[in-house]
Amino acid sequence: MASADLFKRQGYAATSMRQLAKAVDIEPSSLYSHIQSKEEILQTICFEQAEKFTKFIEWIAEQDDSPIEKIKAILLHQIQIACDDSTSITVFNDEWKHLNEEHLKTFLISRKTYESLFIEIINQGVQQNVIKDVDPKIVFNTLLSSIKWIHFQSNKNAANPNNFSQIVDLILGGILN
C-alpha cells in the first residue's frame, strides 16, 4: 500500500494528501473521492493489523496446546505478519498515536485485549511450572520487544519468516523453567 509506505518512510504527520495522491498517481482533488482524510487511511491500516493480531490470539487462546506452544505460535504469527507487510506493521507499531481520540480509544482497547490474552497464556505457563515465575507483564513486553525490529528489515530475502523462527526458540529458552 503506497500510503503505508509513505507513512513508514516519512511518518504520518509529515505525509501530505498531495504526496499520497502522487504516490497512487491521481490528482489530490480526486483522492477525496476515495477517502475522506489521511486519518481514514491510518485507521484502516491500524485496525486491519489489530484485527489480524486479535483474531489469531483469540483463536490460539482457545486451543488445547501448551502455553509454550501457544506463545511460540503467537510469536511466529507476528513474525509472519511483519515479513509479509512490513510497511503496515511499521505504521501499526509507530503511527497509531496519531489516531483521533475516538479511534485511539478503540484501538487501545484492542491492544489491551491482545495484551490480556497473551498475559493469561503466560500466567498459565507459570501455573503449570513451565515458565519462570517472573512478572508476566515483563515477560510479555520482553517477548514482543525481542521481535519488534523484524519489520525494519529492508532486504526482502532477509525478511523471510523461516530465517527468524530460530529467534523464537532463543527467546523461549530464556523464559522456560
Domain coordinates in residue numbering, the chain: 38-175
Q: How confident is the model at residue 43 (pLDDT cuts 50, 70, 90)?
A: very high
Contact 9, 93 (CB under 8 A): no
Check whether 133 has a pLDDT greater than 60. Answer: yes
pLDDT band at 120 (very low <50, low <70, confident <90, very high): very high
Length of the chain: 177
- Nearest C-alpha neighbor of 176 from the set 146, 143, 137, 144: 143
Query: Are the beta carbons of 109 and 99 closer than 8 angstroms?
Result: no
Q: Does domain 38-175 have CATH number 1.10.760.10?
A: no
Q: Return the C-alpha cell found at 130.
A: 513451565
Taken in order 161, 8, 107, 36, the sign of the CA dihedral is negative
**pTM for this prediction:** 0.86
Q: In the prediction, which pLDDT does 160 show?
A: 64
- Distance CA(173)–CA(143), nearest Å, equals 11
Residue 5 has pLDDT above 90, yes or no: no
